[in-house]
Structure 1
Amino acid sequence: MKSTCLALAIAAASLTLASSISAAEPSNAVTLGDPSLTAGIPGEGPLTIEEINKWLADPANHEELKVTLPFGLDAAAGQITGLDENPMTRAKIELGRQLYFDTRLSSDSTVSCASCHHPEKGWAFDTQFGVGVDGQEGNRNSPVSYNRILSGKQFWDGRAATLEEQAIGPIANPIEMANTHDVAVDTLKKIPGYKVQFDKIFGDGVNIENVGKAIATFERAIVTGPAPYDYYEVVRSFQQQFPAEELKYLEEDDPELYKKYADALKGAEGMSESARRGREIFFSEKGKCTACHAGANFTDELYHNLGVGMDAKEPDLGRYMVTKDEKDKGAFKTPTIRNIAQTPPYMHDGSQETLEEVVEWYVKGGHPNAYLSDKVQKLNLTQQDKTDLVNFMKACTGEFPEIETDRLPK
């Protein structure tokens, strides 16, 4: 009887930990984060035309993928963007991967997308500002390029309407790749390995729109895996619904259910007691964090003035420069909390080096200015509360898919 009650309750609570595709599902069904999507064309060294042609000859690489999100992010499935206009295929992901790491898109072959958004730097970079050709610096911190499948408008100010538009922006930016779209396209056309891929994948060959589609498709494949926080939510659901004495008998009554519970317990090991207290602060009126960091990806995808940089003589006006709406002055996009521990420094201007500094900024209520968001209010947090909040954010870190960074066409 206990087993039946548990099974029904767990099913009702949707406590599913499965993130793999069952054998009964079609071959084009895949969970993002699957390493086969970003492992590159098999082999070693620079990609040869023979290897590329063999890859392109496999029809499976051109099937439109039916993608699902990994456990944790899967609750945000309804927010997936861009796939109707730009369907994902393995071949398109692979082409985007090559372009993402290829410095030949820049004017002097020194800068790639990865120069500011590198997998070893949490898909961002640890410099205060992005650094482009000839060491030029912008005035904004490099935003993360993961979980972009859940985001419509791009950049800190949302000036790019789509991920495709964002992907080609830096190529022509004079302080990033300092190239032109025409020159970049001509460069790619002269590389046989690229030309054959663009012809096969898109039909109309190399053009800047297809470059954007390929890079955006690769970026949509970069997602955060389950974090200790995600597993802890499952543990909490079990423990809230059932007394300890019932859970004690679960292994004997229903081994399959017990395994799910045990797996969740193991996955939640990174949620220390401090992080668990921080979770309560994060989701409560005490911390007010979910006023902006909401949903499975911990962001409302909106723009807010936190007062950062507003004391400058000529402050960066952010979203206002796109909309020309007074209320948007000094407003910037809410970043995701997922894997944020891997992406210092913080804020749109990279002015805060640690998560501790970020928490202090919110505790003091930001920097007062005429456009300060009404969601930014002084917080009454003790030193322990601040530590707990930081530890919770660190526990929102999951694994990234493995990436091949070196295999590019000759």
Structure 2
Amino acid sequence: MSLRPNTLPAGNDSNASAAKRSPGRAVGWTVAVLAAGCAAFAAYAVTYPERMPLAIGTIVEDITGANPQPVQLLIPPPAPLSAVAQLGRNIFYDASLSASGKQSCASCHSPEHAYGPPNNLAVQLGGPHMTEAGYRPPPSLAYLYRQAPFSIGPDASDMDTAPVTLQQAAASAADVQRAVKTAGVAPAAPAMVPQGGLFWDGRASTLQDQAIGPLTNPVEMANPSVADVARKLENAPYLDQFKKLFGDSIVNRPGMLVEEAMFAVGRYQFEDASFHQFTSKYDYWLQGHARLTQAELRGLRLFNDPDKANCAGCHLSKPTLDRLPPLFTDTQYEALGVPRNRNLPLNKDPKFYDMGVCGPFRSDVKDLTQYCGMFLTPTLRNVATRHVFFHNGVYHDLKQVMDFYNLRNTQPEKIYPRDASGKVQKYNDLPRQYQANIDSADAPLDRKFGDQPAMTDQDIQDIIAFVKTLSDGYKE
């Protein structure tokens, strides 16, 4: 792009001729032209602020869609799987380990769907006859290789000090005001909310623990006991792999056999590059190898804008200081107040509430009621490939998700149902005594009833266009 500010209009324009004859008049004429140009540019900026570059120095890069500040990301290099991980791969795809004989880890965490659910069901079917509805939509197993164990508060600096219990950590933070999450700023202080862990409620701290859970869950793989799982492993075609790795005596210790099997599954998830590919268009753009479209650039700006979408307040979009690629999650927990999914079998009971961190599927934090209604912030990588969103699967496309954030407070009648009297039942999936936990401080959820929504429909379409750049498998 060439602005060519010193080029005068062609032809017999009298002002141009006069400028040539008189240096003084030339200066005045040039100033007038520049002033008019600046005024026009300012008017355009006011009318179309989303089209303006972040800085003058990035005009060319923004117009072309290139990243003005590319970075070389530190991505785990591909390597052959260890023997333990190869064993874990066999176990991951083994449906014979379920009571039905039809369900493996890959059934709910499909590699063809970014290790998320393979369909648009709100919850998956399992159980002995594959007829039992699950409790929550399966989260993706991708991009968990840097997930820390569940905790509340910072790690202890003195390793010889007795660890602080969750109850002690929560009590110390009980009277501290929650830090507001803002895009472009460091995540909220870890003492304010829980962080880390696996599952929607963080009840598993390692990939091994996460893999064990579904084996005996009555609505998933539905084995009556760990001993039943061990007997199936003893008859598996890969038993010799076990013996080579852990010794022949492993078959005489059923508990240890299952533990080692799920350790192997965890190693497979950690080592296999397909679980953390970093091959999205955004990854290539960060490194200067791809160009974003104008819609994607506008979506990125809105995603990071602390006064607009503010998505990056929780879904961190920038590489770390040591050049690790962003995971698009701060791994913390939020109470968002999504509407109740009345189609879930569990929700047929009007007294049942899924309150995330404080129950009902974990019990160690049930008394820390300041966390009721909080669920883990998932990664947005590959989120455009999903068909089910939030912990209860209430939404089935990204437009619905964005409308929720945009209209929850400003036009709640478009988000929540009405009761028999016509009153909007806002926050209808959390008991009233815990609704103060719901986030109303972070944009765009800080708007009030009747306010202008933070995003226009065009903004939402642009954000969705950007989010689609987070899907793996982009071809340069």
Matched, 1:130 2:151: no
Deviation at 1:370, TM superposition (A): 2.6
Output the amino acid matched with 2:446: Q
Output the amino acid matched with 1:218: Y
Paired residues of 2:70 and 2:287 also in contact (CA < 8 A):
no
Paired residues of 2:281 and 2:469 also in contact (CA < 8 A):
yes
Residue in 2 that maps onto 1:260: none
**For residues 391 and 304 of structure 2, what CA distance do their matches in structure 1 show?**
24
CA RMSD of aligned residues (A): 2.3
**For residues 164 and 348 of structure 1, what CA distance do their matches in structure 2 show?**
22
Paired residues of 2:398 and 2:464 also in contact (CA < 8 A):
yes
Residue in 2 that maps onto 1:292: 314
**For residues 250 and 384 of structure 2, what CA distance do their matches in structure 1 show?**
40
Matches within 5 A, 1:378-389: 378=447, 379-389=453-463
Matches within 5 A, 1:122-271: 122-125=114-117, 126=119, 127-133=121-127, 134=129, 135-152=131-148, 153-179=197-223, 180-191=225-236, 193-203=237-247, 205=250, 207-220=257-270, 221=272, 222-235=275-288, 264=289, 268-269=290-291, 271=292
Deviation at 1:365, TM superposition (A): 3.6
**For residues 92 and 14 of structure 1, what CA distance do their matches in structure 2 show?**
37
SS in 2 for 1:320: coil
Deviation at 1:197, TM superposition (A): 0.9
SS in 1 for 2:287: helix
1:346 to 366, 377, 389: 389
- Cα–Cα, structure 1 residues 92 and 190, in superposed 2: closer, same or farther, change >3 Å? same
SS in 1 for 2:282: helix
Tell me the percent identity: 31
Matched, 1:390 2:464: yes
1:320 to 358, 361, 373: 358
Output the amino acid matched with 2:336: L
Deviation at 1:317, TM superposition (A): 0.6
Output the amino acid matched with 1:282: F
**For residues 297 and 84 of structure 2, what CA distance do their matches in structure 1 show?**
41
Higher relative contact order by CA 8 Å / sep ≥ 6: 1 or 2? 1
TM-score of the aligned structures, taking structure 1 as reference length: 0.66
Paired residues of 1:96 and 1:218 also in contact (CA < 8 A):
yes
**For residues 287 and 240 of structure 2, what CA distance do their matches in structure 1 show?**
47
**For residues 194 and 146 of structure 1, what CA distance do their matches in structure 2 show?**
25
Matched, 1:107 2:96: no
Q: Deviations over 1:261-295 (max 9, x none)?
A: xxx1xxx25x3211111000111112111221125
Deviation at 1:17, TM superposition (A): 6.3
**Structure 1 residues not aligned, in runs of 5+:** 1-12, 20-29, 38-89, 236-263, 401-410
- Cα–Cα, structure 1 residues 161 and 281, in superposed 2: closer, same or farther, change >3 Å? same
Paired residues of 2:354 and 2:373 also in contact (CA < 8 A):
yes
Output the amino acid matched with 1:189: E
**For residues 350 and 365 of structure 1, what CA distance do their matches in structure 2 show?**
17
Deviation at 1:310, TM superposition (A): 5.5
**For residues 372 and 226 of structure 1, what CA distance do their matches in structure 2 show?**
35
SS in 1 for 2:145: helix
SS in 1 for 2:208: helix
Paired residues of 2:216 and 2:222 also in contact (CA < 8 A):
yes
**For residues 287 and 77 of structure 2, what CA distance do their matches in structure 1 show?**
20
Runs of 4+ aligned structure 1 residues displaced above 4 Å come to none
2:407 to 360, 364, 384: 364
Paired residues of 1:315 and 1:330 also in contact (CA < 8 A):
no
SS in 1 for 2:336: coil
Q: Deviations over 1:128-172 (max 9, x none)?
A: 102212221122111101112122311000111211111011001
**Structure 2 residues not aligned, in runs of 5+:** 1-68, 149-196, 252-256, 318-325, 342-346, 410-425, 428-434, 448-452
**For residues 155 and 17 of structure 1, what CA distance do their matches in structure 2 show?**
28
Q: Deviations over 1:29-48 (max 9, x none)?
A: x724x6x54xxxxxxxxxxx
Paired residues of 2:201 and 2:375 also in contact (CA < 8 A):
yes
**For residues 377 and 132 of structure 1, what CA distance do their matches in structure 2 show?**
39
2:379 to 336, 339, 352: 336
Paired residues of 1:310 and 1:316 also in contact (CA < 8 A):
no
Matched, 1:304 2:334: yes
Output the amino acid matched with 2:203: R
Output the amino acid matched with 1:31: P
TM-score of the aligned structures, taking structure 2 as reference length: 0.57
Q: Deviations over 1:301-320 (max 9, x none)?
A: 11111102459743311111
Residue in 2 that maps onto 1:259: none
Output the amino acid matched with 1:385: D
- Cα–Cα, structure 1 residues 218 and 377, in superposed 2: closer, same or farther, change >3 Å? farther
